[in-house]
Amino acid sequence: MTSAPFKRAAVIGWPIAHSLSPVIHNHWMRVYGIEGEYEKIAVEPETLAAAIGNMKARGFSGFNITVPHKEAIIPYLDKLAPLARLMGAVNTVKFEEDGTTTGFNTDGIGLLANLEKSLPSWPKDRPALVMGAGGAARAAALGLLNENLPFLVITNRTREKAEAIARDIGRGRMVVVDWAERHDVAKTAGLIVNTTTLGMHGNPPLELDLSISARDTVVYDIVYQPLVTPLLDHAQACGLRTVTGLGMLVYQAAAAFKVWFDIMPEYDDELRDRLEAVFK
């Protein structure tokens, strides 16, 4: 009897040492009986094209993309799934049987799934504030625009990038404010989402005054290294509800796993324990 072919997948980024994706995907490969390996590969921006060619030559099923490649990778792909095209960013690539590449974006799926499973009662009767203007910000904005919020406010240290998102996907329901105005918006927002790298290990914290935010406000940080960022620590000290970025990582990974292997994996207790052990 012929054995099943060895499956390969990976996550690429620069830097990449912090990624927990191999823990997640290698767990699912074992649980679902897929003989293979998921690895993390450090890819400098100027070597992006070469890295794609190398993975194709090695027979990879696909790969995930993290900062700073989510938008830069698009010119190197053959096709984009509709959601990735709308977002203008890719976090998952599949090598098709004919050798072509298709880009997907599962970040929005992961972000909303994490929020709904963690705090299904988050307030939708007030605007949401999204901080950042990269691929994750686009994913957050697009997902939240489907939640019937009054409107969405987006801010970024470079205002022009936030304006580009509002222009591309805002549907007239997004307001762009200067970075310095984020404190004022936080006073009335029902949901606050950080999609920047501020607060990640090695980066300065994201400073945001939450002292007079409404008590039912939810603060969501997609950064998961550290698990409790300075922003979330401040929010908890102010009595606000918080959501960490770990669940988003798992749920966007599950959607990517489905793209490559046609299996929708579960966030089981063993995986939860393994991930939480990393932060103890």
Contact 209/240 with Cβ under 8 angstroms?
no
Cα three-residue angle 270-272-274, rounded to 5 degrees? 70
Annotated active-site residue 56? The verdict is: no
Contact 110/255 with Cβ under 8 angstroms?
yes
Q: Please, what's the b/e burial string for 247-267 (b: 16 or more CB within 10 A of its CB; e: otherwise)?
A: bbbbbbbbbbbbbbbeeebeb
Q: Is the peptide bond before 265 cis (omega within 30 degrees of 0)?
A: no
The one catalytic residue in 7, 40, 56, 70 is: 70
**Cα separation values, 217 from 130, 235, 239, Å:** 13, 9, 9
Contact 19/11 with Cβ under 8 angstroms?
yes
- Annotated active-site positions, please? 70
